[in-house]
Amino acid sequence: MSYSSILYICIFLPAVILLYGITPQRHRGKILLAASYLFFYMLSGKLLVYLILSTFSIHHIGLWLSSCRREFELEKRQIPQEQREPLKKAYTAKRRKILLFAVLLHVGMLLFLKYFNFFGTNVNHLLQLLSVPIQIPQLKLAVPLGISFYTLQAVSYIVDVYQGKTEADDNIGRLALYMAFFPVIMEGPICRYSQTAPDLYQGKQLAYRNVTFGYQRIVWGLFKKLVIADRLNPLVKTIFENHQDYGGVVVIAGAVLYTFQLYADFSGCIDITIGTGEIFGVKIPENFRQPFFSKTASEFWRRWHITLGTWFKDYIFYPVSLTHFVKNLSKKTKNRFGKHAGQIVTSAFALFGVWFCNGLWHGTGWNYIFFGLYYFVLILLGNIFEPWIQSAADRLHIDRHSRWYSCLQRIKLLLIVFTGELFFRAEGLRAGTDMFRSVFTEFDLSALTDGSLFSLGISRADYLAVLAGFAVVLLVGILHEKGISIRERAARWGIIRRWSFYYGAVLAVVIFGAYGPGYRAVDLIYAGF
Amino acid sequence: MEKLLSILEDLNSDIDYETETKLIDNGLLDSMSILSLVSDLEDAFDVEITPVELVPDNFNSARAMWQMVQRLQEA
């Protein structure tokens, strides 16, 4: 049951809303939790036990960390000032061990279930090359739905409790709902405990504005998913799964259209998620902010999959940057080669951690690791050359804020993103390399006029629907960039104009969406990660 | 406070640090600027800034940074 399915939109969600609405406030959180576990069970069956175990463990560990802090505060008051520092050190060491255990437990489970066979295969290749007669067996491992997402939520909760940013929650129901909330479990966004948990379990009254705004956001998500992403799917599949048959312009079209498919699919799903949360009065964090209007790779990643980026920033980038080793190395470099070199050392270590994990998080394949390291190199190079670029711009009297310079930056960024997505979607690193090479070796513009683009699984009508859909998404993006909220504006219109707009939006999905006979339901792309 | 303002001016002189209260929320300071700032603050005020302190509330304004520095000096 994907979020864009009729089962979810027309049966599951309305049933949950109905049950939620007729249930007394104090039990509404339990209704959402039961619905979330049912949703998970329908998709992942008995693997629900992993999610429940994770929830129990973070509940227990959170309380353990909290009781350690309380014990320390109590003991501290009973001893003289000079003995407090050793006591603090002892408790910090104990709490650090608990944190390490919790992180290893959760990340270890993710690594084992998701990556054991990937690493096993690669180690076996290596052992074979070295003629070592040992092989790591391949295990039949079933990976629970959303493990990559809920594991990061679990780790963030534990680290936040350890750092004192969040109080440990003694209500296991609230914690369980934070981990399992059904619109979030499949594709995120990766929420922090303080962002969603309190509202989730509060059981807020269903409000007209929340329900209408929520459904509007869901329709917008369906529009992106069904009109753009799912219509493009046959073309993307044809090119990437038969990449040896294509080259040049067709591969470029594949990379560009896959990027738009991924954006429409993932951001559309997030719209449905945020809209669902809105119905229940829960503000789920935004995950996209017009990423294609970015000028640099760093900015792109601050606007694309925002919650993953901020998770990596808070739990990898900053902690790695502020380790004594990195700080000392950075200081030594700064003293010897100047401030900029010191900063580069820090960013090199921290960015490598972030982008290696980012690549690996997305999947088990060398193309994903390449994808992560591709951005690592690009962003690091951007940081290294920034002073020289600025000085060249000053000498040439180039205004880096001018419209034409920004335009060039945006074009460069799009080329970077399309290239990255080519490797990301490719059926392995070798296929990605072959496809990238073919762009140059088989470049032939005649593919644009000889009808090749119409033999890729989608018709002229599909192209037109996608083009129209994309124009609407672009227009909405431009309005959002200008700070204009269409929903807020529409809410102020007169009843006839307003409801014509709402019906028009629903009809656009019904008429132009790719579903029903002749179409196969397309799985959510990020649910696979 | 003057020393802090001077560090911030070195980082980006286009910002009015006396009045700006959303340095992080408005994206005026990115993560690389924060790291540079952390290093300068540690050197200038002899404090140790840990990841726990790296939250928007501590870096959204010069005043918030100054309060953080004073708190860390007292600790």
CB pair distance less than 8 Å for A322 and B55: no
- pLDDT for the residue A449: 80
List chain B residues with CB under 8 Å of A343: 32, 35-36, 39
Mean pLDDT of A410-435: 94
Closest by CA to A246, choosing from A67, A499, A434, is A434
Chain A residue nearest residue B57, CA to CA? A165
pLDDT digits (tens, 9 = 90+) for A201-246: 888 999 988 999 999 999 999 999 999 999 999 999 999 999 888 8
CB pair distance less than 8 Å for B38 and A313: no
Closest by CA to B33, choosing from B20, B24, B44, B25, is B24
- pLDDT for the residue A526: 66
CA distance A460 to chain B (A): 42
- pLDDT for the residue A529: 62
Give A437 or A444, the one with higher predicted confidence: A437
Cα–Cα distance for residue pair A155/A145, rounded to 1 Å: 17
Cα–Cα distance for residue pair A268/A277, rounded to 1 Å: 14
Cis preceding linkage at A189, omega within 30: yes
Q: Are the beta carbons of A278 and A217 closer than 8 angstroms?
A: yes
- pLDDT for the residue A125: 87
pLDDT band at A264 (very low <50, low <70, confident <90, very high): very high
Please report the residues numbered 306 through 335 in chain A whose beta carbons come closer than 8 angstroms to any beta carbon of chain B: 313-314, 317-319, 321-322, 327, 330-331, 334
Residue A267 has pLDDT above 90, yes or no: yes
Any residues with CB less than 8 A from the CB of A251 and at least 6 apart, and which?
A239, A243, A422, A435, A436, A438, A439, A442
| Region of A296 on the Ramachandran plot (φ > 0 left; ψ -120 to 50 alpha; else beta) | beta
Cα–Cα distance for residue pair A295/A282, rounded to 1 Å: 32
Report the percentage of chain A scoring pLDDT > 70: 97
Q: Are the beta carbons of A420 and A433 closer than 8 angstroms?
A: no
Q: Are the beta carbons of A179 and A55 closer than 8 angstroms?
A: yes
Report the percentage of chain A scoring pLDDT > 90: 54
Per the structure, the count of domains in chain B is 1
Mean pLDDT of A431-443: 90
The yes/no answer to whether this complex scores an ipTM above 0.90 is no
For A285-304, letters b (16+ CB in 10 Å) and e give: bebbbbbbbbbbbbbbbbbb
Mean pLDDT of A73-79: 83
Domain positions in chain A are: 6-205, 207-288+458-529, 295-425
List chain B residues with CB under 8 Å of A317: 31
List chain B residues with CB under 8 Å of A318: 31, 34-35, 51, 54
- Among the partner-chain residues B30, B32, B51, the one whose CB lies closest to the CB of A322 is B51
pLDDT digits (tens, 9 = 90+) for A306-329: 999 999 999 999 999 888 899 889
- Among the partner-chain residues B27, B36, B50, the one whose CB lies closest to the CB of A343 is B36
Cα–Cα distance for residue pair A513/A231, rounded to 1 Å: 8
> Hey, is the C-beta of B35 within 8 angstroms of any chain A C-beta?
yes
List chain B residues with CB under 8 Å of A286: none
pLDDT band at B19 (very low <50, low <70, confident <90, very high): confident
* Chain centroid to CA A216: 22
- Among the partner-chain residues B31, B36, B50, the one whose CB lies closest to the CB of A317 is B31
Cα–Cα distance for residue pair A301/A241, rounded to 1 Å: 27
> Hey, is the C-beta of A342 within 8 angstroms of any chain B C-beta?
yes
pLDDT band at A517 (very low <50, low <70, confident <90, very high): low
Mean pLDDT of A369-381: 94
**Helix, strand, coil percentages, rounded to 5, for chain B:** 60, 0, 40
Residue A364 has pLDDT above 90, yes or no: no
Q: What is the CATH number of the domain that holds B8?
A: 1.10.1200.10
Q: Are the beta carbons of A59 and A154 closer than 8 angstroms?
A: no
CA distance A343 to chain B (A): 7
pLDDT band at A519 (very low <50, low <70, confident <90, very high): low
Residue B56 has pLDDT above 70, yes or no: yes
Work out the angle between the directed axes of helices A366-395 and A339-362 (0-180°, nearest 10): 150
Q: Are the beta carbons of A109 and A148 closer than 8 angstroms?
A: no
Question: Which domain does B24 fall in, by range?
Answer: 2-74
Task: Name the 3-class secondary structure at A463.
Answer: helix
Residue B38 has pLDDT above 80, yes or no: yes
- pLDDT for the residue A372: 94
On average, the pLDDT of chain A sits at 90
- pLDDT for the residue A140: 86
pLDDT digits (tens, 9 = 90+) for A8-67: 998 999 999 999 999 998 999 999 999 999 999 998 899 999 999 999 999 999 999 999
Q: Are the beta carbons of A201 and A29 closer than 8 angstroms?
A: yes
Mean pLDDT of A282-286: 94
The distance in angstroms from the start CA to the end CA of chain A is: 17
List chain B residues with CB under 8 Å of A164: 52
pLDDT band at A6 (very low <50, low <70, confident <90, very high): confident
CB pair distance less than 8 Å for A313 and B50: no
Chain B residue nearest residue A309, CA to CA? B31
pLDDT digits (tens, 9 = 90+) for A77-113: 888 877 788 888 888 889 999 999 999 999 999 999 9
List chain A residues with CB under 8 Å of B54: 314, 318, 322
Residue A520 has pLDDT above 70, yes or no: no
Any residues with CB less than 8 A from the CB of A217 and at least 6 apart, and which?
A271, A272, A274, A275, A278, A487
Any residues with CB less than 8 A from the CB of A517 and at least 6 apart, and which?
none
CA distance B19 to chain A (A): 23
CA distance A299 to chain B (A): 10
Residue A527 has pLDDT above 80, yes or no: no
* Chain centroid to CA A40: 19
